[in-house]
Chains A and B, each alone.
Chain A
């Protein structure tokens, strides 16, 4: 048998690409791997991630909505309770999807499947891996956001074409959480530590003005909630859903841009020190 070991021009070509010390411009290989793995194993998890906010919307929006009636929307106009909480649920699902992908998924791949160790023994750099994993989380976030927005449309909760902007805005929110989540996960060593992630996520979900306005809290609690990322996501999507844009809209979006930059710096630095020690 002739196993050619130096016989192909393409392997030579691949070696002569431009490389950086941490980056080989090949995050798409990591993305391709993720899509292939999803095809064979992960799709049940993906499906449940889509239904979770839909079930919340039906039970809280339709069920509770019948009791609550209509509430004041972001511009002060009267809207149904379902229309009030739907964008918040979308923000929560963007957060949950991104955090699940960038924490539990990454934790498993890092510590048990040893997937990244394998990747970093190829010509991939840590930045390729970080970008690839984050893009995967965002693709999933995009899928959920599109599905949920469609459900909102079917339920008659979309009143303006601006509401379609909720989809890219959800991806922005997911990006912020995913870039940070992966960096934070790199510090985790045990499953017990991973539970802290849930410990932070659940209260953030319940109290970030998701189901009622911020004004119900005393002022110091309001400040605390406004410092948290989810509140900015909830407000951002709520304003977009009602096409009620104010200077605060830019602040909410800016919060996520800063989060993305800091998160990417943290994640790449951590991957470097974890795998290139």
Chain B
């Protein structure tokens, strides 16, 4: 198992973005030692990554990890304190309007134009990119269909549900046919149905070659959508790789979850010693990280221990995430 807290942990894995192949990939984003401080607070602390065209790249991390700040720097609406950053070969600070002409942005909070109707939101936003109405009219209709909002075209924005607003924001971000789509927590606050519809739409965009840059703290979302991701905590990169590689490197294949009741959970650790690769005691349950959950469970029974409940499951990105960023509450 590679050392914790090291972004080099995956260097032996075939990660396409960092390979020096015969044809070097075309990077749409390169960040080197990107740093952002607000007064005494360091929001982003020297992170480096490169994103090739067409990749779906995730930034994972708890609240306050520096994900949104990184997104803002990519969009050229926040100035970095130090380090280098290029988007499509341009510096977003020096060429803000030009860089953003290539971008589609879905901010964390919807900022739709409430004074305009649904379809007009798309038209007006397209005008901000200097696009002609002859292009925008059919494009707006196409995007409304994509966002499943065709019958809401003449509605007021107020009248839309949270999921509809989110889809409209995403449709809006596509009006200029961006090469790179920045999505800052795209599904936060949506119900499961709305999330799945959104994932489907994003997956279609990916199929069409759009580079997706996505922040999230939903692990299932990252597993669904990201080819490769970095786990960020306190402004630093904790790990980097594909979801599968991260699970392989930072967790085991399976996890055995045992509940002995909150009284006994804390003291049972010593009796479970030696079962599986690693043991983690939580207030409500004990987790045993192992390659074979069933045989670990047999071993537990063989030692005469009788858990109230037991569950064998596959390891997920969530296990990786919690291991890398800790279980304490961050705000």
Contacts and interface: CB of A to CB of B under 8 A. Distances in A.
**Is chain B found bound to chain A in the same assembly?**
yes
A71 B132 CA distance: 56
Contacts of A26: 127-128, 130
Contacts of B100: 121-123
B146 A1 contact: yes
Interface in B208-238: 208-210
Nearest to A11: B177
13 contacts: A6-B179, A11-B177, A15-B98, A15-B102, A24-B130, A33-B116, A33-B127, A36-B120, A113-B115, A123-B101, A123-B130, A275-B77, A276-B78
Contacts of A122: 100, 125, 128-129, 176
Interface of A: 1, 3-8, 10-11, 14-15, 17, 19-24, 26, 29-30, 32-33, 36-37, 40-42, 113-115, 117-125, 275-277
Contacts, number: 135
Interface of B: 75-79, 93-98, 100-103, 105, 107, 109, 111-117, 120, 124-125, 127-132, 135, 139, 142-143, 145-146, 174, 176-179, 204-205, 208-210
Contact of B96 (A7, A8, A21): A21
B176 A14 contact: yes
A8 B177 contact: yes
Given A5-B174, A33-B113, A121-B75, A10 B131 contact: yes
B101 A115 contact: no
B128 A19 contact: no
A3 B204 contact: yes
Contacts of B208: 3, 5
Contacts of A7: 177
Classify the secondary structure of B's interface with A. Answer: loop
A5 B113 contact: no
B99 to A, nearest CB: 8
A276 B128 contact: no
Contacts of A276: 76-79, 93, 96
Residue of B103, B111, B114, B177 ringed by the most chain A CB atoms within 10 A:
B177
A26 B114 CA distance: 22
Contacts of B79: 276-277
A7 to B, nearest CB: 7
Nearest to A29: B127
Contacts of A119: 128
A21 B96 CA distance: 6
A113 B96 contact: no
B124 A32 contact: yes
Nearest to B131: A14
B57 to A, nearest CB: 17
A114 B77 CA distance: 14
Contacts of A20: 97
A113 B94 CA distance: 27
A40 B205 contact: no
A14 B111 contact: no
A32 B127 contact: yes
Given A1-B146, A14-B129, A33-B127, A24 B97 contact: yes
A4 B132 CA distance: 17
A120 B77 contact: yes
Contacts of B93: 276
A4 B207 CA distance: 11
Contacts of A15: 98, 101-102, 176
Contacts of B77: 117, 120-121, 275-276
A117 B109 CA distance: 11
